[in-house]
Chains A and B, each alone.
Chain A
Amino acid sequence: MKVLSKIYMALIFALLYAPIIVLVLFSFNRAGSFTNYSGFSFYWYRELFRDSTAIDALKNSLILAVSSAAAATLIGTLAAYGISRMKNKYVKAAVKSVTNIPMMNPDIVTGVSMMLLFAAASSIPFLVVEMGFWTMLIAHITFNLPYVILSVLPKFSQMDKHLTEAALDLGCTPSQTFLKVELPFIMPGVISGFMLGFTLSLDDFVISHFVSSSDFKTLPLYVYNQTAHEVKFSMYALCALMVFAILILMIVVNFVGGGKTDGKVKKKKKKTA
């Protein structure tokens, strides 16, 4: 049984990783082809850094991911605070389910609905709506929000009510209580919400596909444009770099923090939400 399970796991992981490994290996292939190999070279890595469109796209992706995650974290944390203080059960349930719509809905429907909204808005006089950074920012904040709220809200309910009451009794105003007592307590939730939003936004293609323009192209859109023709091997080089970066991050994290698995399980649970 033990051996069988090991073989099974090895097999599945091998299949899961085969295309990725091939991709990393062939990113060093000077010929830029999967079928003939013409020697090891960093050519495509140099090409990548010479390709200003790709670098711009990467930059755009990072700007968008950071700003949308930050905005969503701000709005979402406040919202979670407000929701946790709600007394009316039904209102609370209603707010929660509307919030979760972008999470449950297929991405394509969210993207299409956003596109319709912006198209309609652009027909209103005096309101200039052009697809670009701002429409993408709005769309990304919208789909990040439920994830932020989902990571922050449980923290509020886990919190000991007596703590806030004590703070209030000792003379803190509600906003002071929020900043000094509650915020530090919910901080892990806030941070994981931000991280989640950052990752989702960085990776999103489908929603961006519907609300973007050539003005502001993120990396996934750039890749999509390439796969419609021919993928330059510099893209694989970029992927290989990402794989290495993630691997290094993982190894570092693994070595730095030994022992406990508790935090890890929690974080991963959030990721899968």
Chain B
Amino acid sequence: MKKKSFLEKAAAVPHFVWMILFIVAPLLFVIYFAFTDSNGAFTFDNILNLSSYGDIFLMSVLFAFIATVVCLLIGYPLAFFMSRLKPSAQKVFVLLLMLPMWISLLIRTYSLLAMLDNGGLLNSLLNAIGLPTVKIVGTRGAVILGMVYDFLPYMVLPIYTTLSKLDVRYFEAAEDLGCSSVMTVFKVALPLSKSGIISGITMVFVPSISTFYISQKLGGGRFDLIGDTIERQFLMNNNKNVGAAISLVMMILILISVAVMNRFGDDDGGELIV
């Protein structure tokens, strides 16, 4: 066995230093603040008092869950149809799907708000043809709608990627063996695109559960999610300790669920994107 050269040994060192300084250390600070009070004394109070935030956690999980399910239900057929198109058409649609991702999420959310607000475009159109105003902004539905609208491409792209790599002959074989087209989807496409679905779910669920901009704008500040609470603790109430405790709990919840999901998808050896 030959010795490692200097380059081989030293190459990753800057990254290690960086990792320790800017990934590990900040997380240690989160833990430190979560377990101390404002004077720096050790305490469990921050964590124990989180029970009053139970509803917020529940709401956020529920909102994110619903948004993820809706994204999956809308996005899977879309990805499937896209993967069945001619290659040149596929390319166009992939680009069309990526374009919204290049526009700032803030702007997309805000233009959605401008459309749906009580005095917005949609309602002025409705009023013009004599229909009553539909109140959308400031409801739970608006928050979920915002999540779905903003994160749908993140669901479709990974699913499409795995589907487009599948051999068309699988489907032909299934149909030859007497599967209906619906059956083909359930028996062939769905199991084979599991890894795409899982990374899609992760990519929608994580930003949805931690968002604060969408709930602020579309929910009118009435439905606080975890993200809003964290942001308020840090930037307005100036209560780093409680903020850190909430962040810590959220982080642990998310890392666990991502790990479980990955384990879930790993059993068929599917390649993971996240």
Touching chains A and B, CB distance < 8 Å: yes
Q: Count CB-based A-B contacts (< 8 Å).
A: 235
Asked whether, in the complex, the Cβ of B103 is within 8 Å of the Cβ of A242, the reply is: yes
**In residues 227-245 of chain B, which contact A (Cβ within 8 Å)?**
227, 230-231, 234-235, 240, 243-244
Nearest residue, chain A, Cβ from B123: A35
Nearest residue, chain A, Cβ from B92: A254
The answer to whether A142 and B18 touch (CB under 8 A), given A78-B12, A265-B161, A272-B158, is yes
Nearest residue, chain A, Cβ from B181: A1
Give the CA-CA distance A106 to B225 in the complex, in Å.
Answer: 14
Check B74 for interface membership: any CB of A closer than 8 A. Answer: yes
Please list the residues of chain B having a beta carbon within 8 angstroms of any beta carbon in chain A: 4-16, 18-19, 22-27, 29-30, 33, 74, 77-78, 81-82, 84, 87, 90-96, 98-100, 102-108, 110-112, 114-115, 119-121, 124, 149, 152-154, 157-158, 161, 164-165, 181, 199, 203, 206-207, 209-210, 212-213, 217, 227, 230-231, 234-235, 240, 243-244, 247, 250-251, 254-255, 258, 273-274
Q: Rank and list the top 7 A-B pairs by shortest CB-CB distance, nearest first.
A: A82-B12, A79-B15, A106-B210, A113-B26, A174-B5, A82-B11, A116-B29
A–B complex contacts, Cβ < 8 Å, 9 sampled: A1-B181, A83-B12, A104-B255, A106-B207, A108-B230, A142-B22, A145-B15, A203-B102, A254-B91
Residues of A contacting B212 in the complex (Cβ-Cβ under 8 angstroms): 108
Residues of B contacting A17 in the complex (Cβ-Cβ under 8 angstroms): 96, 100
Instruction: State which of B22, B95, B103, B121 has its C-beta within 8 Å of the C-beta of A254.
Output: B95
B53 to chain A, nearest CB (A): 15
Residues of A contacting B251 in the complex (Cβ-Cβ under 8 angstroms): 105-106, 109
Of the stretches A40-48, A185-193, A217-225, the one at the interface is A217-225
Residue from the set B108, B114, B157, B213 with the largest chain A CB neighbour count within 10 Å: B114
Give the CA-CA distance A114 to B22 in the complex, in Å.
Answer: 7
Asked whether, in the complex, the Cβ of A101 is within 8 Å of the Cβ of B23, the reply is: yes
Instruction: State which of A8, A82, A265, A272 has its C-beta within 8 Å of the C-beta of B273.
Output: A272
Check A273 for interface membership: any CB of B closer than 8 A. Answer: yes
The answer to whether A116 and B26 touch (CB under 8 A), given A8-B77, A20-B100, A261-B91, is yes
Instruction: State which of A13, A20, A104, A265 has its C-beta within 8 Å of the C-beta of B103.
Output: A20
Give the CA-CA distance A173 to B11 in the complex, in Å.
Answer: 15
Give the CA-CA distance A65 to B92 in the complex, in Å.
Answer: 27
Give the CA-CA distance A271 to B160 in the complex, in Å.
Answer: 13
Give the CA-CA distance A247 to B26 in the complex, in Å.
Answer: 39
Instruction: State which of A20, A120, A149, A205 has its C-beta within 8 Å of the C-beta of B111.
Output: A20
Instruction: State which of A75, A103, A109, A250 has its C-beta within 8 Å of the C-beta of B99.
Output: A250
Asked whether, in the complex, the Cβ of B120 is within 8 Å of the Cβ of A265, the reply is: no
Asked whether, in the complex, the Cβ of B99 is within 8 Å of the Cβ of A243, the reply is: yes
Nearest residue, chain B, Cβ from A138: B22
Give the CA-CA distance A236 to B121 in the complex, in Å.
Answer: 15
Residues of B contacting A75 in the complex (Cβ-Cβ under 8 angstroms): 14-15, 18
Give the CA-CA distance A113 to B245 in the complex, in Å.
Answer: 11
Check A269 for interface membership: any CB of B closer than 8 A. Answer: yes
Instruction: State which of B8, B27, B247 has its C-beta within 8 Å of the C-beta of A108.
Output: B247
Instruction: State which of A79, A116, A149 has its C-beta within 8 Å of the C-beta of B244.
Output: A116
Residues of B contacting A15 in the complex (Cβ-Cβ under 8 angstroms): 149
Instruction: State which of B82, B98, B105, B274 has its C-beta within 8 Å of the C-beta of A203.
Output: B105
Give the CA-CA distance A75 to B260 in the complex, in Å.
Answer: 30
Please list the residues of chain A having a beta carbon within 8 angstroms of any beta carbon in chain B: 1, 5-6, 8-9, 12-13, 15-20, 22-23, 34-35, 75-76, 78-79, 81-83, 85-86, 95, 98-99, 101-110, 112-117, 119-120, 138-139, 141-142, 145, 149, 173-175, 178, 199, 203, 205-206, 209-210, 219-220, 223-224, 227, 231, 235-236, 239, 242-243, 246-247, 250, 254, 261, 264-265, 268-269, 271-273
Give the CA-CA distance A106 to B128 in the complex, in Å.
Answer: 43
Instruction: State which of A83, A227, A247, A272 has its C-beta within 8 Å of the C-beta of B110.
Output: A227
The answer to whether A35 and B105 touch (CB under 8 A), given A16-B149, A78-B11, is no
Nearest residue, chain A, Cβ from B254: A106
Nearest residue, chain B, Cβ from A110: B26
Asked whether, in the complex, the Cβ of B30 is within 8 Å of the Cβ of A109, the reply is: yes
Instruction: State which of B12, B74, B157 has its C-beta within 8 Å of the C-beta of A79.
Output: B12
Residues of A contacting B209 in the complex (Cβ-Cβ under 8 angstroms): 106
Asked whether, in the complex, the Cβ of B254 is within 8 Å of the Cβ of A18, the reply is: no
Asked whether, in the complex, the Cβ of A104 is within 8 Å of the Cβ of B258, the reply is: yes
A234 to chain B, nearest CB (A): 12
Asked whether, in the complex, the Cβ of B106 is within 8 Å of the Cβ of A205, the reply is: yes
Nearest residue, chain A, Cβ from B116: A19
Nearest residue, chain A, Cβ from B8: A85
B61 to chain A, nearest CB (A): 13
